[in-house]
Amino acid sequence: MSFCSQRLIRKEFMNPFFKATICMVVGLLAAEVRAQDPGDVGSPECRQVQLQAQAAGLAGAPYRTKGAPIKTAAKVVDPAVRSGFITPACSGCIMTQFGRGVPINQQQTCGPICGNAVCQRGEDTCICLVDCGSACGDTCCNGGEDTCSCSEDCGSTCGDTCCNAAEDPCTCPTDCGPHCGNGLCDCGENQCTCPQDCAERCGDGCCSPDEQFFCDCSNDCGTNCGDGCCNGGEDTCSCSEDCGSTCGDTCCNAAEDPCTCPADCGNSCRGACCDGFTYVCYESTLEDCSASLDTYLGNGTTCESQIAACPTGACCLRGSCIDAESQGYHLSQYTCETGGGAYLGDGTTCATADTTCRGACCDGFIYVCYESTVEDCVASLDTFLGIDTTCESQLAACPTGACCLGGSCHDAESNGYHLSQYTCETGGGEYLGDGTTCATAECPQGCCRPNGSCLDQAPSACQAAGGRPQGPGSDCFFTAGCPEACCLGDGSCQDTLDFLCDSNGGTTQGPGTECASTECPQACCHPDGTCWDQGIDACHAAGGRTQGPGSRCFFMAGCPEACCLPDGSCQDTLDFICEGQGGHSQGPGTVCASTECPQACCHPDGTCWDEGLDACHAAGGRPQSPGSRCLFMAGCPEACCLGDGTCQDTLDFLCDSNGGNPQGPGTQCASTECP
How many other C-beta atoms are found inside a 10 Å radius of the C-beta of residue 464? 10
**Hey, CA dihedral for 668, 670, 672, 675, is it positive or negative?**
positive
What would the mean pLDDT of 253-265 be, rounded to a whole number? 75
Contact between 77 and 94 (Cβ < 8 Å): yes
What's the pLDDT score for residue 12?
A: 37
Alpha helices for 402-557 (secondary structure H): 412-415, 421-426, 459-464, 498-503, 536-541
User: Residue 125 carries which side chain, given as an amino acid letter?
Assistant: T
What's the pLDDT score for residue 33?
A: 38
Q: What are phi and psi of 316, to 5 degrees?
A: -90, 120
DSSP states of 634-653: S---EEEE-TTS-EEEE-HH
pLDDT at 454 over 80: yes
Helix axes 16-31, 88-99, angle to 10 degrees: 120
Confidence category of residue 11, pLDDT binned at 50, 70, 90:
very low
Contact between 271 and 299 (Cβ < 8 Å): yes
With CA atoms as reference, report the closest residue to 569 among 581, 555, 587. Answer: 581
Quote the pTM value.
Answer: 0.30
Cβ neighbours of residue 240 closer than 8 Å, sequence gap 6 or more:
251, 253, 254, 255
With CA atoms as reference, report the closest residue to 628 among 564, 674, 541. Answer: 564
- The answer to whether the bond into 178 is cis (omega within 30° of 0) is yes
Higher-pLDDT residue of 23 and 38 is 38
What's the pLDDT score for residue 266?
A: 73
DSSP states of 387-451: ET--TGGGTTTS--EEEEETTEEE-HHHHSSBBPHHHHHHTT-EEEEET--TTT----EEEE-TT
Question: What span, in angstroms and rounded, lies between the C-alpha atoms of 130 and 114?
Answer: 7
Over the stretch 280-318, which tens digit does the pLDDT of each residue have? 888 888 888 888 888 888 888 888 888 888 888 888 888
pLDDT at 594 over 80: yes
User: Residue 505 carries which side chain, given as an amino acid letter?
Assistant: G
DSSP states of 307-340: TTTS--EEEEETTEEE-HHHHSSBBPHHHHHHTT
Contact between 431 and 425 (Cβ < 8 Å): yes
Question: What span, in angstroms and rounded, lies between the C-alpha atoms of 373 and 455?
Answer: 45
Question: What span, in angstroms and rounded, lies between the C-alpha atoms of 311 and 322?
Answer: 15
What's the pLDDT score for residue 605?
A: 87
Over the stretch 72-118, which tens digit does the pLDDT of each residue have? 888 888 998 999 999 998 988 988 888 888 888 888 888 777 766 66
Q: What are phi and psi of 101, to 5 degrees?
A: 75, 20
Question: What span, in angstroms and rounded, lies between the C-alpha atoms of 317 and 279?
Answer: 18
Report the percent of the chain where pLDDT is more than 90.
Answer: 4
Cβ neighbours of residue 45 closer than 8 Å, sequence gap 6 or more:
38, 39, 85, 86, 90
pLDDT at 142 over 70: yes
Q: What are phi and psi of 30, to 5 degrees?
A: -70, -30
What's the pLDDT score for residue 117?
A: 64
What would the mean pLDDT of 311-329 be, rounded to a whole number? 80
pLDDT at 596 over 80: yes
Q: What are phi and psi of 202, to 5 degrees?
A: -65, 130
Alpha helices for 100-189 (secondary structure H): 129-132, 151-154, 173-176
Q: Degrees (nearest 5) of the Cα angle 277, 281, 284?
A: 115
pLDDT at 492 over 70: yes
Question: What span, in angstroms and rounded, lies between the C-alpha atoms of 434 and 420?
Answer: 8
Q: Is 581 left (phi over 0), alpha (psi -120 to 50) or beta?
A: alpha
Cβ neighbours of residue 25 closer than 8 Å, sequence gap 6 or more:
none
Question: What span, in angstroms and rounded, lies between the C-alpha atoms of 608 and 623?
Answer: 10
What's the pLDDT score for residue 3?
A: 39
- The answer to whether the bond into 173 is cis (omega within 30° of 0) is no
Contact between 24 and 3 (Cβ < 8 Å): no
Q: What are phi and psi of 44, to 5 degrees?
A: -60, -30
Rounded-to-5 percentages of helix, strand, coil across the chain:
30, 15, 55
What's the pLDDT score for residue 646?
A: 92
Confidence category of residue 641, pLDDT binned at 50, 70, 90:
very high
pLDDT at 268 over 70: yes
Contact between 132 and 119 (Cβ < 8 Å): yes
Question: What span, in angstroms and rounded, lies between the C-alpha atoms of 131 and 600?
Answer: 131
Confidence category of residue 14, pLDDT binned at 50, 70, 90:
very low
How many other C-beta atoms are found inside a 10 Å radius of the C-beta of residue 172? 20
Alpha helices for 65-163 (secondary structure H): 69-82, 88-99, 129-132, 151-154
CA 612, distance to chain mean position in Å, is 70
**Hey, CA dihedral for 41, 43, 48, 51, is it positive or negative?**
positive
Mean pLDDT of the chain: 79
Contact between 140 and 123 (Cβ < 8 Å): no
